[in-house]
Structure 1
């Protein structure tokens, strides 16, 4: 493998020479220079905010032919292709190849301390400045050719012959007087046979050895490695298998291996969940780096080590490595690494508070707000806008979790969005859109929240981390499940292509989320054996996401209530509430548990004990602007008031929240609110005189609300809710004196009960 030179670069040098000789016409100057520049443009540094473009593959001879075929040169009667082929076929021996590179010096402006060779330079020739992009390319090509060993030079020559061979027919057609062996002038006049031993030793069985294909140079391989390394770090993608095969073929054992190969292998093994392989590759990379006695990046070795330990659940080792990273970054005065380490440590303490406390982590001195203010000030001082944007997003998460208010969260989001657009920080756009979706979801604007997830998947999926795209798909599937659109939820989950991420962590998240949706559907269909199996899988699964753990706890509480284990459900609520208090969890989760607790107390005949909890949940929801939680809390209060015979107050509360809840697209909540409203109206009807018009009107209105509740229960396939609506309809019909209609509703109740409780449901939707 050559260090820099390839046959395609010789073709680029020929194009540069034609341009300097004023042979390129005016209309072909821009396409020619653009073609050369696209092949020579260096990759963007990995530390930059701008995403590097995908490196171009080496140009083939067909690309050069297509560029020059239809261009008329400045030489009369000759096309640009004729002049280009003349340049290439003028290199008719290995000695001519040396002469070609030696003659490139005549295209450069002579330096002040270097005398020009005695070769006469044509007056029409354009000389390249030594510091211009083309001048640097020509100088480096000369230097790399001089440094090449003889073995590599011969390989370059033979590869050049194979690169040039497709144009032999065109060259012979336009130059009929050429020799029979135009490829190598040394063979001309020797009259060698096709199977001559000398020819076979020099070029193999054919002068154009088909096995001698153009191989990329070491620099080209490093550019490709940097591109894939950027995608591994920024997007979380793993290298496709076909690309791995190409790398293994290109990087032969005899070739000099770049240290980036070990770094790419580290990230690939890390994303695949290969703990041992990731450690081995990381040690190889930094052992290779320290051989050059360059220890300026030692803190980054410790940083990656800490992140790797935390990702595999070794938090004590991660804290030790991160503390060493902070100390080393301070010693080397690497402010960027120091700020990122502090930001990551603070994020870890929020994501896994219990694990970090058990590992002996002590949070930063002062409040979390002061810590974020410190990180933002340091990011502004060092102009690390990526860190500033990430800190603002982390501050948004803290604001939402603490319930400090939606306006402050939106302010941080808009500031981060401005930084992302101004400084082209594409890696943070996905997280920003997900947080905006969360904010609007808390405001009850479910349609707008779903729209932001759709924007992420349609417009920013290729520039955002794969984890954000997976979370957006799962969130859309969860929203569809809340509305009873299980087929659409299956489509959204199916859009997560396993070949896209190929990472163990995301695979576990996607699998756990699919089982979560499956468990929700089984509970609604009263399929207890399947629900018990799904719950067991979720509890024993490998997912370490706090969000999924909380949703699993909620569904377990619902399962215990549906099975009649009220004591076990109450104990589970208390345990979950204790864990949330220890973890200083999201206020939204606390409100959910409060509402579940008060509803459980109301269900077991102790509604008065749950009234204070419902009132507190409603107050906190109103202060934090958590509107879906507020609607559920107010509904729980109305249910408790109805059990205390305060039907009028319950009716007014439900009249206030039902219209807003309908826009939230939560079919289960809407159905329950309608059912509670029907209970309140039925209670008011019971206070009217028997047979009066007022009682009939209230019963008719209550039956209308029951029909609406039944519509939503049927939509989400909630068998328990459908049975409740049928039972209430039978009760109202009996109250009116219509015993035949009451008997019909009772028979439908029994039929539905037998179909769903005694047999497994048919046509189950699979969330894959």
Structure 2
């Protein structure tokens, strides 16, 4: 494999010569110099466009350059830049002419006062990117062995061979001279010049290109968390196989480490990480270099252990990484390691806190979690580590939300992180900030605003968002759509992300889990208990997973299934068990409130309304104090049902009416349907116990109740909840019977009968 020069790079040198010798028209000069700069200037971070341009320099096809140059004109009337390029390419008759071209370009960078007439080209500043490119090309060409230079010329001849017909048609005289000079060559071979094609081989790419593309691939793997496409992977492995450089081999094993990690191959990932460390030591020199590689290898090892739920090993590796980083005085590595430990403790609070002694050892033995966050924020500002500061702000927002802190302060931290991402162009963390922003609005009951945040991740941040963030956003969006009864759209959202997560084991499993959760929720609403039990059996083993969001959803739907089956004792036992677990672990504050409301519902269904009232009232007060409007509405619905059971119809009516505006904004149609149904019951009860018989007020209350029953039935119909529809139709029929409206009563009874038959058919499947 050549170190630097390739046939495409020689073509680029020819284009530079054409530009320097003033053969480009005035109108196209800016485009040509931009074309050259994109392929010669070095950048610290390569974007996708730059990589595509560099990738063209290791291509075996000249047509990618031809399509671009045909758009630009030269100083020769009627000739494009591509026509002039062909003439210059075919004027190179051998290694001597190629040496002359490179030497002539090299002389343009000399500073000893050569004139344009002496060099034939305009001078180039030696320190400019173009001057550095020309100097390196000359150095690399000079150091080539004779056999390597011959191979380079053969590769260049094969590279330009497909353009023979085009060049001959435009330059018949030069073509005839060329054929005369090559008259000793077999004519049959000459006749096949125009059809010569060379398959990609190791000589198509240089070691420089391979290192650059491999580094870009690893950067994308780290940032996005995706897998390398098979065609790119095979191409890189082919190029790497022709190199013996230990630095490139270490990057190869680093790429393999990410590949095995995403594929769920724990042992192979560990092996690749060890080989990466070994080859990195071989390519480096000195004991200090070994310490640097060692601390970052420990950092990756800790993240790998955590992803495979080996918490003790992960913490031990990170503690060792922190000790090594402190010894090396590497503040960037140290701060990131402390931030990772803090994140690990928040994400998995059930772990032993004594394992996280490294944080208190750096911050101070008396520091709490808020002091640790403040320490990281201060260090990030001092070192101008904006990515760390953005992540710490989001971690602080998570701490506020999960611990029942101030919701306004949590939103303030999220907005600060979003502003920081915009100010310092932190593209990779913008999606995480959008996720937190959406979660904050979700807790406030503004589901429609949260959905826009989740949609923006794919619409705006798709190209630079980590794949894990995109999957989380799609799963939450699917949940939101399922709560509105749009099950097909929810399934479509999950199916659209499926091709991107193919091969990434954990993310692929997450998408499948949420697809099953959507189907489970739908079957529960339909009353198809057997199908719901089947879906629940598929995901029940995943309750032991480390993802708290998935675990909570599975437990909630399992309890809902028990409530549908009227197995109240088992449901109460599971709620009590789950409450003790989350209290012991210190999990999300909102999840604990949700479980308390489920407990109140179970007591209400078990005819223990006074006990249920106490639990629901406390939960409602707590949810209102912490601005958890979704849970507050659920508490209002539960309290309304309890008050109806206690014959407190006026209080139930007033309470449920106060929650109507927020319920209509929440887009949780099942909750809204329940609220309308219970509100209708409250009006019926008030008409019977709070109004005089036959009065206008009583008739008005019954008419209002009928309207609420219809709205509740409409909401239940959208989410396909058969039991809710049947209850609303039954109560509507009784209201119409009380009013003496026989036609409306018979219509409601007919719909009730038809829906009952459909439910029995679904239940028998």
TM-score (norm: length of structure 2): 0.90
Residues 127-168 of structure 1 deviation map (CA, whole Å, 9 limit, x = unaligned): 222211111011111111222233322221101111222343
Q: Does 1:163 align with 2:159?
A: yes
User: Following superposition of structure 1 onto structure 2, how do residues 134-283 of structure 1 map, counting pairs within 5 Å?
Assistant: 134-172=130-168, 176=172, 178=174, 182=178, 191-193=184-186, 210-211=198-199, 215-253=204-242, 256=245, 257-283=248-274
Cα offset, 1:344, TM superposition: 1.0
C-alpha displacement at 1:309, in angstroms?
0.7
Matched, 1:129 2:132: no
Give me the whole-angstrom Cα distance separating, in 1, the residues matched to 2:526 and 2:82: 73
1:91 deviation in Å? 2.8
Distance 1:613 1:54, change over 3 A: farther
- Structure-2 separation of matches of 1:696 and 1:70: 81
Aligned counterpart, 1:20: 20
In the alignment, structure 1 residue 591 sits paired with structure 2 residue 593: yes
The answer to whether 1:602 aligns with 2:600 is no
Asked if 1 retains the 8 angstrom alpha-carbon contact of 2:116 and 2:122, the reply is no
Name the counterpart of 2:661: 659
Structure 1 residue 548: Cα displacement: 1.3
- 1:336 deviates by 0.9
In 2, the alpha carbon distance for the partners of 1:617 and 1:227 equals: 51
Give 1:35's aligned residue.
35
Deviation at 1:103, TM superposition (A): 3.7
Asked if 2 retains the 8 angstrom alpha-carbon contact of 1:44 and 1:52, the reply is no
Matched, 1:720 2:730: no
Q: Do the aligned partners of residues 707 and 620 (structure 1) sit closer, same or farther apart at CA in structure 2, a change above 3 Å counting? A: same
Q: Aligned partners of 1:671, 1:422: CA distance in 2, in Å?
A: 44
Residues of 1 paired with 2:355 and 2:530: CA distance?
Answer: 38
Per-residue deviation, 1:107: 1.6
Deviates more, 1:687-696 or 1:139-148: 687-696
Deviation at 1:744, TM superposition (A): 7.9
Q: 1:662 to 1:188 in 2, by over 3 A?
A: closer
Q: Is the 8 A contact 1:315 1:356 kept in 2?
A: no
Native 8 Å contact 1:393 1:412 kept in 2: yes
Find the aligned partners of 1:10 and 1:588 in 2 and give their Cα distance: 64
- Between the aligned partners of 1:515 and 1:629, the Cα distance in structure 2 is 24
Shift of 1:450: 1.4
Greater relative contact order structure (CA < 8 Å, 6+ sep): 1
**Structure 1-normalised TM-score?**
0.89
**Equivalent residue number for residue 547 of structure 2:** 545
Distance 1:759 1:168, change over 3 A: closer
Deviation at 1:61, TM superposition (A): 3.4
For 1:496, what is the secondary structure of its paired residue? helix
CA contact (8 A) 1:393 1:432 kept: yes
Query: Map of 1:324-339 to 2, 5 A cutoff?
Result: 324-339=320-335
Partner Cα separation in structure 2 for residue 355 and residue 72 of structure 1: 69
How many residues align? The count is: 745
Q: How does 1:48-447 map to 2 (within 5 A)?
A: 53-56=50-53, 57-58=55-56, 60-65=61-66, 84-110=85-111, 122=118, 125-172=121-168, 176=172, 178=174, 182=178, 191-193=184-186, 210-211=198-199, 215-253=204-242, 256=245, 257-291=248-282, 292-293=284-285, 294-295=289-290, 296-355=292-351, 364=360, 365=365, 366-447=367-448
* Change over 3 Å in CA distance of 1:465–1:521 after alignment to 2: same
Task: Confirm whether residue 683 of structure 1 aligns to residue 685 of structure 2.
Answer: yes
Indicate if the aligned counterparts of 1:88 and 1:164 stay in contact, CA closer than 8 A.
Answer: yes
Counterpart contact for 1:271–1:505, Cα < 8 Å: yes
- Residue 532 of structure 1 aligns to a residue whose secondary structure is helix
CA offset at residue 516 of structure 1? 0.9
* C-alpha separation in 1, matches of 2:42 and 2:713: 64
Looking at structure 1, the residues matched to 407 and 494 of structure 2 have their Cα atoms a distance apart, in angstroms, of: 29
Residues 326-355 of structure 1 deviation map (CA, whole Å, 9 limit, x = unaligned): 111111111111111111111111112224
Q: Please give the per-residue CA displacement for 1:375-414, whole angstroms capped at 9, x wherever unaligned.
A: 1111111111111111111111221212323321221122
Change (3 A) 1:20 1:193: closer
Asked if structure 1 preserves the Cα contact closer than 8 Å seen for 2:105 and 2:134, the reply is yes
Structure 1 residue ranges without an equivalent (≥5): 763-768
Equivalent-residue separation in structure 1 for 2:307 and 2:252 (angstroms): 22
Shift of 1:645: 2.3
Residues 714-746 of structure 1: per-residue CA shift (max 9 Å, x gap): 221212212322343455456668899878867
Instruction: State whether structure 2 residue 579 is matched by structure 1 residue 570.
Output: no
**Structure 2 CA distance, aligned partners of 1:532 and 1:82?**
71
Q: Quick check: 2:302–2:318 contact (8 Å CA) kept in 1?
A: yes
* Whole-Å separation in 2 of the counterparts to 1:426 and 1:70: 34
d(CA) in 1 for partners of 2:585, 2:70: 70
Q: CA deviation at 1:493?
A: 2.1
> Cα distance 1:548–1:211, how it changes in 2: closer, same or farther (>3 A)?
closer
Secondary structure of the 2:52 match is coil
Structure 2 segments unaligned to the other structure (5+ residues): none
Determine the C-alpha separation between the residues in 2 that align with 1:71 and 1:572: 73
Using the alignment, how far apart are the partners of 2:358 and 2:67 within structure 1?
65
CA contact 2:633–2:663 (8 Å) conserved in 1: yes
CA-to-aligned-CA distance 1:482-534 (integer Å, 9 cap, x gap): 11122222222222132455311111111111111111111111111111111
RMSD: 3.2
CA 1:209–1:732: 2 relative to 1, 3 Å: closer
Q: Does 1:637 align with 2:639?
A: yes
Q: CA deviation at 1:630?
A: 1.0
Equivalents in 1 of 2:196, 2:747: separation in Å?
A: 90
Greater helix content: 2
Structure 1 residues 181 and 322, CA, compared in 2 at 3 Å: closer, same or farther?
A: farther
> Structure 1 pair 563/153, CA: closer, same or farther in 2 (3 Å)?
same
Distance 1:7 1:89, change over 3 A: same
The 8 Å contact of residues 55 and 227 in structure 1, kept in 2 or not, is answered as no
Aligned partners of 2:116 and 2:123 also within 8 Å? no
Helix, strand or coil: the match of 1:264?
Answer: helix
The residue that corresponds to 2:481 in the other structure is 480
Residues of 2 paired with 1:508 and 1:335: CA distance? 36
What are the Cα deviations for residues 226-279 of structure 1, in whole angstroms up to 9, with x where unaligned?
Answer: 222222111122111222232233333566554322211211221111212212
Structure-2 separation of matches of 1:167 and 1:440: 60
The answer on whether the counterparts of 1:162 and 1:212 sit within 8 Å (CA) in structure 2 is: no
CA distance in 2 between partners of 1:584 and 1:210 (Å) = 64
Distance of 2:78 and 2:458 partners within structure 1: 55
Secondary structure of 1:273's counterpart equals coil
Q: In the alignment, which residue of structure 2 is the partner of 1:766?
A: none
- The answer for the alignment partner of 1:648 in structure 2 is 650
**Shift of residue 581 of structure 1?**
1.0
SS at match of 1:313: coil
Match of 1:424, SS state, is coil
> 1:708 maps to which residue?
711
Change in 2 beyond 3 A, CA 1:148/1:351: same
